[in-house]
Amino acid sequence: MSQFPTIAFDGDGAPALTEREGHVVVFATPDGKTDAGGSALNRAMRGALKRCLEGEAFGKLEEGRGVTFAWPGGMKAESAQVIKLARSAKNRAAAIDAGASIAKSAGRKPVTVHGGSRPNIAEVAYGYALRAYDFDDHKTKKEDDDDRVASASFLVAKKDETAAAFAGLGAVAEGVHFTRDLVNEPSNTLTTTEFADRLKDLERHGLAVEVLEEEELGKLGMGALLGVGQGSESPSKVVVMEWSGGGEEKPLALVGKGVVFDTGGISLKPANNMEDMTMDMGGAGTVAGVMKAVALRKAKANVVGLVGLVENMPDGKAQRPGDVVTSMKGDTIEVINTDAEGRLVLADVLWYAQERFQPAGMIDLATLTGAVIIALGNENAGVFSNDDDLCAAFLKAAEAEKEGAWRLPMGKAYDETLKSRVADIKNVGGRAAGSITAAQFLKRFVKDDCPWIHLDIAGTASVRSGSDHAPKGATGWGVRALDRLIRDRYEG
């Protein structure tokens, strides 16, 4: 597991900036004004900071971005950075960007940030925590390796108040890191059993965690889910995580696809880029991260997370194209393509979530279709819903957290492609509108009175190049937006 950065809030001590090692940071307003920290830095650097702030390059910077000086004169630090940021509590997004810029520039060097009396330093620290992530568990460590944990000290006028403001944000950042760790983990390490064990460990944060094994899943009638994993040596499981912080209210249910590796089964995927299928459990990883976040911050809401954990492998016992399986709902499904396995897993877990918990709303997440990447790239997740109010609330939360999401249409006409000659439904509908027909398949397993959202995160769960708030690899997309939705709609 990655090491979460160490973040401290200390008293305002501008003169001490020149004595700090590592990476030192000050802020300047868009018109180039600094506070005591900037003045101290400028004196040490013999006016270099002032010349930078008066230059054209600083003027063109977006808020939340900065300029870095290597080996600044008059200081012990290896580098210094000035960030453009207005003194306003309203510019939350820019403050988070500022923290991410600091982490990206500093790497693993210890960081000292002079925040002074600025009102948005907790958000800056949040941005730093989001970006200060490195998954290197499987790299060989040498004695002379610099394996310091990322750390930042924020010098602020009101350290206790700022620390309290950061506490809830830090919990969300820890949830994001947990999701990234799970999604980045190779599949020979993160087997279905190991995944379940890591989720069971969340009980130490106050979650109630139950692991349903294959025998019980069989008794429940989860033939769709069990069919996916029948060719693997790793046992299929469903893990249920409950957070009860909202009294007698019905819970929000979060459902995640947890295919720890997807070969495509008998409908074998091409070898090129198949290694990326270690992230096909990204939906389950996001659900796990949200559950950790709400537990750490003691959310005043009832939330239940359910994940179906399977491995899709080719084998003599594996599911074949043309097989017919029976879902927990009772509907029969003709398996046309064994590589369209995620929807089979979700079908049973969605139905189980409704039967057991009668949720106030239900949201599923899955790296479900390559078609959504063709449609939306890596910038937006596909959003499908049967409830305009819930969908609007989620899209608002995603926009607030700068997590790209775009609603796509649904409709009965798309169901025509899913009609089967030999069963109630088939699991694929052809190339056209592939993400939409997948959502239509899932909708069949959602009761009419249950507000529901399907999030296809195939393009956003893991990326090949770094983003503003995450390095390349697993992003943790969705943890922040879903936590915000829970805060805004289900707490209090």
State the catalytic residues. 269, 343
Which amino acid is it at 365? L
CA within 13 Å, CB half, 81: 26
Give CA torsion, residues 420, 423, 424, 428, to 10 deg: -50
Q: Which residues fall within 8 angstroms of residue 73, CB to CB, at 6 or more apart? A: 44, 45, 46, 48
- State the burial class of residue 466 (Cβ atoms within 10 Å of its Cβ: 0-12, 13-18, 19+): middle
Longest dimension (CA), the chain: 81
Helix 159-184 with 282-296: angle, nearest 10 deg:
160
Query: Side-chain half-sphere of 14: how many Cα atoms within 13 Å?
Result: 17
CB 28 within 8 Å of CB 61: no
Output the six-digit token pair for 304.
């239940």
The DSSP call for residue 422 is S
User: How would you classify residue 9: left for phi > 0, otherwise alpha for psi between -120 and 50, otherwise beta?
Assistant: beta
Contact 200, 207 (CB under 8 A): no
